[in-house]
Copies of this chain bind each other. A is one copy, B any other.
């Protein structure tokens, strides 16, 4: 196939025609499928189209809701956008379970954002460090006009430092900047300030120290370990008494805590453990028009912060109390970006009572924790294996060469009990002794 020139300048219909002719065997059915996902209202569709480029239609993701989510004693109905089955059901099940046990607790640890100017300077590091200290006020003054709006809202540039990385790469330094971006994710604000800082410091350095400073790039960091939210559930262990567990509260708590520990010590399990947490997190991120790639990249970097990739949740069983907690960096916004522009993102924020960024961090993290609770609950009880338990019993009975009468008695007896080899052997043994 020959390349096409000027594709981006074609109209939407021309783009569709090009694709259908060249890649879809000129199929009218395909063309109609593509167009069938357009929004009924042309101006609404135009808004969606303009979020991206070369757009020809929409990809529709299921938009569901989880009722009864009690966070810090406030009841939320949380929209979730997710294509994977069972995620919304799991969150709903978890929300209901904890509703009866005091709900979720959440708090913001900090909301610091980060940006870096990466540059190369091959002069004397001490000269540069002294110059940086002496010109800090000038640098801050320089970006003052860019910060005015953010400062009015209570945020702005928080701190500025020079970092010497020459041990890692010849001449490599950073200007490191901390920001508070209030209810915005803040990427544009941060990048503008960083670029101005880089240009100004280049100017000052080249003028004062007479040696070239090469700015490689000036850009925010998506790794924001100090933009952190903590959410947890807790209750007396004895209240973990759901009949579906098929085991005592103590055994459940013990097995659950062990599954959490396994995700802490085994990287292969940690990846899947955290993937489940992000099933919940991302569904809220998507529903609110936030950027899930930023949230994922940050969360997983955080999971690897001590040199091993680990599970993000913690579970403790102390003094008869079960406590399950998630601490996670979440740099998200409730203003800017798509949040007000996408009709369904806006509707999500309305349903959530138009939270500020901090409250949205709490809600999002809560759904992540709820998701992980449900996943582990299923994994350590009969959930994911339930369909296989009957088969398991049959296996044991085959192994014990049980007769028809013993089989029927065992099926009846173990219908609502946990099945283990010992228990079944003991049960069959007691029948045989009796006879």
> Are B85 and A396 closer than 8 Å at their CB atoms?
no
- How far, in angstroms, from A200 to B216 measured CA to CA in the complex? 58
Contacts of A395 in B (CB 8 A): 199-200, 203
Copy number in this complex? Answer: 2
A24 B350 Cβ-Cβ under 8 A: yes
Q: Compute how far the CA of A66 lies from the CA of B162 in the bound complex, rounded to whole angstroms.
A: 40
Task: Tell me, yes or no, whether A174 is within 8 Å of chain B by CB.
Answer: yes
CB pair B4 A68 closer than 8 Å: yes
Within A72-110, the residues touching B (CB, 8 Å) are: 75, 77, 80-89, 92, 96, 99
Q: Which residues of B contact A380 (CB under 8 A)?
A: 216-217
Expressed in whole angstroms, the Cα–Cα distance for A57 and B351 within the complex equals 14
A128 part of interface (Cβ distance < 8 Å): no
Residues in B whose Cβ lies below 8 Å from that of A353: 23
Which chain A residues in 202-252 approach chain B with CB under 8 Å?
Answer: 202-203, 206-207, 212, 214, 216-223
* A53 & B92 in contact (Cβ 8 Å cutoff): yes
Q: In the assembly, what is the distance between CA of A352 and CA of B58, in Å?
A: 17
Q: Which residues of B sit under 8 angstroms from A282, Cβ to Cβ? A: 292-293
Q: Mark contacts of A19-31 with chain B using CB atoms, 8 A cut-off: 1 yes-contact digit, 0 otherwise.
A: 1001110000010
Q: Which residues of A contact B (CB under 8 A)?
A: 1-4, 7-8, 15, 18-19, 22-24, 30, 33-34, 36-37, 39-41, 44, 48-49, 51-68, 70, 75, 77, 80-89, 92, 96, 99, 114, 116, 118, 120, 165, 168-169, 172, 174, 191-192, 195-196, 199-200, 202-203, 206-207, 212, 214, 216-223, 255, 258-259, 261-262, 265-272, 274-275, 278-279, 282, 286-287, 289, 291-294, 296-298, 300-301, 303-305, 307-309, 338, 342-344, 347, 350-353, 376, 379-380, 384-385, 388, 391-392, 395-396, 399, 420-422
